[in-house]
């Protein structure tokens, strides 16, 4: 089976790594010829070569949503693209994503769409505290601004926004859903997220499900979705609300690489290639610490690997820079208390006292 991956980042890299188990071959298309995924794939293509890439692939998937339109159209037309274009289009405009969720009755933060400066000004006045999110997307907290009702808009760039009521959540959580080609939907054990400056720092499973499954299944079925989808939730007064959806494998699903019967990457590949998926089982408490913003020197690497239950994934990116995800550490343990302790040790080994310096 030849699988084509659009995008050569770490998510693509882990798809390649996990797909080797089933003996799959991989083509990667990326502007960087030496991308994290491209360097371990069977063949690499530049975006100019997209026709060859599509011709070569039996099934095509992607590891990020902001796909070159030519490539997206051609991949969709080929009938090989999973998940389909409709899920990507939702991520082209955050207003579409929010309206879609609202339309199918999924709880989200209250929001207003502001196309003009005047609408933006009115929207900000509608909430005590609001979060302005660039409609064009952005990741890891980029393009987001927090304002109070009477704040001025000075310094806020002129663009289309979704203005959301700021949510005082109990905690942030995620669940990875996977749907096969026959419409069977499974959910990985939900996990707890700790974000700092809009970037995921830690993630840990299990947590209980206050209603994630119903919401995820509704979203998946509404889209006729095939593959893995990451859904980020706020839990407010014990009830889930969707923050956002990602039509792909997701950073909050990396814990499934250790201590689960199957990883999100394998589940995604099985689903898009027409193979069966099962309800994944969490064999032990499992978590990750993201490695963000600085290289991993050999002393730190040894310090992390000396902590029991740790496995390092290093993404082999070209260079380190503040806020850039360069790797992660999987951590597992028989019980949650010891998992948390190990995760603390890993966090301290890499970041010292202050992760914020690197985020």
Q: How many CA atoms lie within 13 A of 101 on its CB side?
A: 24
When the beta carbons of 24 and 225 are compared against its own copies, the nearer one is 24
How far apart are CB 142 and its own copies at their closest, in Å?
26
When the beta carbons of 44 and 130 are compared against its own copies, the nearer one is 44
Q: What angle do CA 52, 270, 283 make, to 5 degrees?
A: 140
How far apart are CB 83 and its own copies at their closest, in Å?
20
- Inter-axis angle of helices 264-272 and 10-19, to 10 degrees? 70
When the beta carbons of 69 and 298 are compared against its own copies, the nearer one is 298
When the beta carbons of 13 and 325 are compared against its own copies, the nearer one is 13
How far apart are CB 229 and its own copies at their closest, in Å?
20
When the beta carbons of 149 and 334 are compared against its own copies, the nearer one is 334
Q: Phi/psi class of residue 224: alpha, beta or left (left: φ > 0; alpha: ψ in -120 to 50)?
A: left
Query: Residue 140 class from Cβ within 10 Å (0-12 exposed, 13-18 middle, 19+ buried)?
Result: middle
How far apart are CB 68 and its own copies at their closest, in Å?
27
CB neighbours of 214 closer than 8 A, spacing ≥ 6? none
When the beta carbons of 208 and 299 are compared against its own copies, the nearer one is 299
How far apart are CB 278 and its own copies at their closest, in Å?
4
How far apart are CB 25 and its own copies at their closest, in Å?
9
- Helix, strand, coil share of the chain (percent; to 5): 30, 30, 40
How many C-beta neighbours within 10 Å does residue 117 have?
11
Q: What angle do CA 249, 256, 28 make, to 5 degrees?
A: 40
By CB under 8 A, name the binding residues for its own copies: 13, 17, 20-23, 39-40, 42, 258-259, 261-262, 266, 270, 275-279, 281, 283-284, 301-302, 305-316, 327, 332-334
């Amino acid at each position: 089976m030849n699988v084509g991956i659009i995008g050569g980042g770490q998510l693509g890299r882990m798809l390649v790594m996990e797909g080797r188990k089933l003996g799959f071959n991989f083509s990667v298309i990326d502007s960087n010829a030496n991308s994290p995924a491209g360097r371990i794939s069977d063949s690499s293509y530049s975006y100019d070569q997209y026709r060859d890439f599509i011709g070569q692939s039996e099934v095509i998937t992607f590891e990020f949503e902001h796909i070159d339109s030519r490539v997206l159209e051609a991949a969709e037309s080929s009938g090989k693209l999973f998940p389909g274009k409709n899920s990507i289009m939702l991520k082209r405009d955050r207003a579409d994503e929010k309206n879609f969720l609202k339309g199918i009755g999924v709880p989200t933060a209250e929001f207003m769409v502001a196309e003009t400066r005047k609408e933006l000004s009115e929207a900000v006045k509608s909430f005590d505290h609001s979060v302005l999110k660039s409609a064009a997307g952005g990741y890891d907290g980029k393009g987001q601004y927090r304002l109070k009702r009477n704040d001025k808009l000075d310094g806020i760039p002129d663009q289309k926004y979704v203005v959301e009521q700021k949510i005082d959540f109990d905690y942030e959580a995620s669940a990875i859903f996977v749907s096969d080609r026959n419409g069977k939907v499974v959910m990985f054990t939900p996990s707890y997220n700790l974000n700092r400056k809009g970037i995921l720092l830690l993630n840990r499973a299990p947590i209980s499900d206050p209603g994630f499954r119903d919401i995820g299944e509704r979203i998946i079925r509404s889209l006729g979705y095939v593959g893995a989808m990451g859904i980020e939730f706020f839990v407010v007064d014990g009830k889930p609300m969707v923050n956002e959806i990602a039509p792909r494998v997701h950073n909050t699903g990396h814990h499934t690489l250790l201590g689960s019967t199957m990883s999100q990457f394998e589940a995604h590949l099985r689903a898009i290639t027409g193979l069966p998926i099962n309800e994944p089982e969490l064999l032990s408490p499992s978590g990750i610490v993201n490695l963000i913003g600085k290289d991993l020197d050999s002393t730190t690497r040894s310090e992390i690997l000396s902590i029991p239950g740790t496995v390092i994934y290093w993404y082999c990116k070209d260079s380190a820079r503040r806020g850039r995800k360069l790797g992660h550490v999987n951590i597992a343990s028989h019980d949650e208390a010891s998992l948390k302790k190990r995760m603390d040790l890993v966090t301290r080994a890499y970041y010292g006292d202050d992760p914020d310096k690197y985020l």
